[in-house]
Structure formats: structure tokens, C-alpha cells
Amino acid sequence: MAAASGPGRAGAIEAQLRRDVALGCRVLARAGLVENVLGHVSARTGSDRMFIRCRGPEERGLLFTTSEDVHEVSLDGSGKLPDGYVVPAELPIHGEILRSRTTAGAVVHAHPPSVLIAALADLSLAPAFGAYNIPAMRLAMDGVPVYRRAVLVRRPELARELDKAMGRSSVCIMLGHGLTSVGDGVEQAVVRALDLDVLAQLTLRLAAAGGSAWRVPAEDLAELPDLGGGLNDKAVWRFHVARLEHEGLGLPA
């Protein structure tokens, strides 16, 4: 059978992208990276457009996000929303980062307690483990930047400061606030946020156990391959979506 094309195919792609944003919110909430109504996920739909998780008239929190909570707006937040819906106050995080990083496809902003506490305690997120979680270890190896303003990023100039602090990294700690992550798509942006959370959790547990920041020897690093997005991103994403479904928190296909 020939592949679908035209408006029907475009509509299916749009529906899937909205679903991915909604699922990303649910995954982050189920994993403890966001609480109640705080946090948001976006996905690029064009050079100056994005889908973003909005707050509705009967807001129930990120764990219960549906595709109906995801709406398309411009990168500056303009666009007509259904009655009762509003864009996040920190929409500039998404708009300015997607504007600056033209190849980025999605942005996550979350508030994991582990990242918050590790940063406030001034603990270095060093590569203190290896094969346990290779993507998280590589985040640490590359260095995790910190945006050192504990502000609500509700103005474009603040979002540009955040983007500058993030530099070439795909993740950034926001001191006294949370994290922002970027990816080619929603799957990758969400999984990078999850990996940073793992890194921060283990850093806190190591510090509590009285351990110091051990670093993986160079000869061991050489034995740690890049397992690719198929395992690092897609399979991890599918696990989290399957867990939601198993617990009755999935979304209709």
C-alpha cells in the first residue's frame, strides 16, 4: 500500500507530535521531574512555530496532560488559543532556545529536586560512574553548565541569558529553579532530562555516603561506546511510555 500523503498525512504527523508533547509531560511527572502544574514541553512545528503544553480551564497537572492541552503558537507566544487556555509564563525558554538553535526540535523545562539540591549544595556533577548509565556519564564528562539566576524566565532577554549559559550543551541546570534540556525531538529532550536527573541523584547519594568524586579512568572510557539514539533515546522513551500504559496513565493511540 502506498504511503499516505497530503492533508491526511500532515494531520497524522501533527496529531502524533501533539501526543508526544503530552506524553513527555506525563513521563516527566511519573519520573518525579515535575510536580503538579509546574513544568512544560515544546516541539518545533516550523521555523517560527511550536507546539507547547498550555494550562487549561480545568488544569489537573502534568501527569494528566492530554493532546488537548497542547497548542500551536509562534515562538514569541502569539496565536489564538481555545477559551480558558494560556501559554506558560516561561514560554520564552522554549521560544528563544528554538529560535537560537535552528536544528533543535524540542525543549523541556522541569524541576527535579535532585538537580535543585545538588546545585544549591555546590556539588560537581562529575563522571563518577561508567557503564551504569553511559549517556548520563557523558553529560558529566562534557560538563553541565549552570544558569546562575534563580528567576522566573518570563522575558525573552532572560531566556537569551539562559541560552548563552547553556552554550553548546544539550542540558543546563537553573540554580534555585530546575533544568532545561534540548533535543532533536521530544523523545531525546525528555530522556536527556531524565539522564541529568540520574546524574544528580547519584551525586547526592555519593556525597551522603561520604564518597568523593571518582572519575572513570581513560582506558575504561575507551570501552564505553555510544550506543546510539535507538537505545539511548527511543528504547528508554518506549519503556517510560509503556510504564504509563501499564499503570493506566497512557494516552490513546
User: Is 3 part of a structural domain of the chain?
Assistant: no
pLDDT mean across residues, the chain: 93
- Sheet of 40-46: strand order equals 70-74, 49-53, 40-46, 106-110, 178-183, 171-174, 146-147
Helix, strand or coil, per DSSP, at residue 107:
strand
CB count within 10 Å of CB 226 equals: 10
pLDDT band at 4, cuts 50/70/90? very low
Check which CATH number belongs to the domain holding 18 and give it.
Answer: 3.40.225.10
Whole-angstrom distance, CA of residue 155 vs CA of residue 157? 6
- What average pLDDT does the segment 143-172 reach? 97
Confidence at residue 6, expressed as pLDDT on a 0 to 100 scale? 56
207 within a domain of the structure (yes/no): yes
Q: Is residue 52 included in any domain, yes or no? A: yes
Q: Which CA distances in Å does 138 have to 171, 189, 196, 216?
A: 12, 15, 10, 11
Count of the separate structural domains present in the chain: 1
Q: Is 169 part of any domain?
A: yes
Q: Which three cell numbers stand for residue 157?
A: 532577554
CB 30 within 8 A of CB 65: no
Q: Which domain holds residue 60?
A: 11-246
Of the candidate ranges 11-15, 190-194, 240-244, the one whose mean pLDDT is the lowest: 11-15
Q: What is the pLDDT of residues 152-161, one digit of tens each?
A: 999 999 999 9
Catalytic machinery residues: 90
Q: Is the pLDDT of residue 17 over 80?
A: yes
* pLDDT for 22: 98
Average pLDDT over residues 146-154: 97
CA distance 180 to 118: 15
pLDDT top residue among 129 and 185 = 185
Percent of the chain with pLDDT over 70: 96
Quick: pLDDT tens for 187-233: 999 999 999 999 999 999 999 998 776 778 889 988 888 877 667 89
Please report the pLDDT score of residue 224 as a whole number.
Answer: 87
Q: Any idea which of 179-183, 225-229, 241-245 has the lowest mean pLDDT?
A: 225-229
Confidence of residue 87 (pLDDT cuts 50, 70, 90): very high
Residue 234 lies in a domain: yes
Q: Are 204 and 118 in contact (CB under 8 A)?
A: yes
pLDDT at 164 (0 to 100):
98
Long-range pairs, 220-224, Cβ under 8 A, ≥24 = 220/130, 221/130, 221/141, 224/130, 224/131, 224/134, 224/137
User: Quick one: DSSP state of residue 55?
Assistant: B
Residue 253 is assigned to a structural domain of this protein: no
d(CA 101, CA 167): 10
Query: Can you name the residues that pair with 181 across neighbouring β-strands?
Result: 108, 171
Question: Considering the domain boundaries, does residue 186 fall inside one?
Answer: yes
Per-residue pLDDT, 7:
62
Q: Inform me whether the pLDDT recorded for 1 exceeds 70.
A: no
User: Could you tell me if 213 and 124 are in contact, meaning their C-beta atoms sit under 8 angstroms apart?
Assistant: yes
Q: Does 51 map to a domain?
A: yes
Residue 29 scores a pLDDT above 70:
yes
